[in-house]
Structure 1
Amino acid sequence: MNSTSPAGPGALRLIFPQWQGASGPAAHQLHRGVDAHDTQLTYNLGPALLQLMAPDHDGPTAYVPVSTDTADEALATVNGIYARDAVVRQLREALKILRDAEPRSVVTFGGECSVSVAPFSHLASVYGDSLAVLWIDAHSDTGVPGDTYTGFRSMALATLAGEGDAGIIAELPALIPPANILQVGLRHWDDEGIAVKERLGIQTAGMTGTPRDNRRVLEWIAGTGAQQLAVHIDLDVIDRRDFTGSVGQNTDGMRMSDVVSLVNDAAAAADIVGLSLTEHIPTELMRLGGLLRDLPV
């Protein structure tokens, strides 16, 4: 394929507006002027906007049904995972869609980072060890139940590598060998998941987008022998000078042009059969929603 746009027979666009993996409302009080539960639900709105702005798509599109219930009982922390029941239910829905559609390539619009678990596991079941993963993210996402942070998004990559909640891992059709995972853009080296990442031996590459850094990624792909790639992009990896619609608020991230350059270079080395865009948080629109609720419209 050698394209940055997964396409061709079996291509699927998966709209997965899951927000429950982003932990509880207390973690979202930072967005001034927006109700905490409304801030959680921005993860639900983000994928719809990505779909609206995305280029036309000739293949099938599927929507994972996601609950918007913010009642305490619906979001109970179980086995160290916030809103585990909703996370598991929605994971099963996504996996059912993938089983029925049998796509050989998937573009996923999320939602928080754990939306990549279902499509990447599906692609691993299709391509086996020929699939490698580029996880472009400011965070490691290799946390496990029992960590202080209980959101499943922080556990997404560890789960794909077979580490974490045994019940959730048992739902997956295939796992990704840690040797076939490369993290790019990681800058939160104080996350609890770093110890798991290092124990698993998941490698990292530079984040500046220089030709030297991109060469390191290409050399890593060649070393895996992978013919296919699944690329996860958490928008928090992007420098806020280029984009502010995510949880990333620092100016030490990757520039948008660096991300595009990296993905284009990677596409020349292997077929991109999976691409996820996650963590789009349009909080300004949620503020506008609050205004609409307060006006007689």
Structure 2
Amino acid sequence: MWNRDLDVLVPMWQGADDIRVRDGAAALGALTAPGTRRITVPVVAGGSEREKGVRHRAAVVDAYRAHRDVLARHHPRRLLTLGGDCAVEVASVAHLAGHYAQRLFVLWIDAHGDLNTPASSPSGMAHGMPLRLLLDGDADAALPAPGCLTPGQVALVGVRDLDPAEVEYVHRHDLTVLDTATLGAHPPRLAELPPPGAAVYVHLDLDVLDPSALPAVAVPTPGGLTPAALTRSLTALRTRHRVVGVGITEYVPQVEHDQQVLGEVLGALGLRGDLPT
């Protein structure tokens, strides 16, 4: 069991413009053994048209502020975040960066880089922007702007669908990338990425898994990891490093799938509760 101070469930869907992921937070919560305290962050029901380059911007910003305020009240140093879409990670990672500073190391395990800006994003979806916000902030204030990480504190894992501007950003900043082929062949490689003594945050967008294994995600992307490779890599990581945060996002429970796959992943993270029979 992974011990933590706080679980936050953030049923935000507006960042992905996909209302199905709203139910993912509660569904993941039902599958996850609870921590010391569990809170659901209030998220407004509606959306809006594109504003300052971001679809549903007002709802995304409101959810970020509500999430940030919950974390400020409870001061967790070990945190589980269950989304919702990937934009929910901004408040959680920024909060832990405030505690751990340069010791924080973020494993962005995701089919996508989430490195767009409002200007570079083809879709204007906020769930394609959280890692860029955490690295650079947002000078135009189109979204909340933490800017709390450096490129050396991040590794992209399982990424295989990048927009051109994201490819350029990865190369320009020499971001560490661990692709699916390498990790699939050698799962313990994940544990080699954080430096000794790091406080590790695991961002897990479930679309890192191949859709043949888990189709119940917002953006299924071929060429993903097998469940065996992901679970072995996460087990190796927890054996070698101190995990201070986990965020799991983009689950669409309405799509038919083998729930045992999800149970195995949660188990590798020390989170598995009793699966429904």
**Shorter-chain TM-score: what band?**
0.7 to 0.9
| Aligned pairs (5 A) from 1:115-154 | 115-147=88-120, 148-154=122-128
TM-score for both structures, normalised by structure 2 = 0.84
1:157 equivalent in alignment to 2:131: yes
Find the counterpart in structure 2 of residue 93 from structure 1: 66
Aligned partner of 2:13 among 19, 26, 30: 19
Aligned partner of 1:48 among 19, 26, 37: 26
CA shift, 1:52, in A, is 1.0
Question: Larger radius of gyration, structure 1 or 2?
Answer: 1
| Aligned pairs (5 A) from 1:194-233 | 194-208=167-181, 209-210=183-184, 212=186, 214-215=188-189, 217-222=190-195, 225-233=196-204
- Structure 1, unmatched stretches of 5+, are 24-39, 286-297
TM-score for both structures, normalised by structure 1 = 0.79
CA shift, 1:284, in A, is 3.9
Find the counterpart in structure 2 of residue 59 from structure 1: 36
1:208-250: CA deviation from partner (whole Å, max 9, x where unpaired): 43463533x333313xx44210000111111122111013445
Report the AA paired with residue 173 of structure 2: L
Report the AA paired with residue 149 of structure 1: S
CA shift, 1:206, in A, is 2.8
Q: 1:242 to 1:284 in 2, by over 3 A?
A: closer
Q: 1:169 to 1:247 in 2, by over 3 A?
A: closer
Q: 1:284 to 1:121 in 2, by over 3 A?
A: same
- Aligned-pair Cα RMSD in Å: 2.1
1:46-80: CA deviation from partner (whole Å, max 9, x where unpaired): 1111111112x2410111111122xxxx4121111
Q: 1:111 to 1:266 in 2, by over 3 A?
A: same
Normalized per residue, the structure richer in helix is 1
Q: What is the total number of aligned residue pairs between the two structures?
A: 254
Report the AA paired with residue 15 of structure 2: G
- Structure 2, unmatched stretches of 5+, are 257-277
Task: Report which stretch shifted further, 125-134 or 203-212.
Answer: 203-212
Report the AA paired with residue 28 of structure 2: L
Of all paired residues, the percent bearing the same amino acid is 26
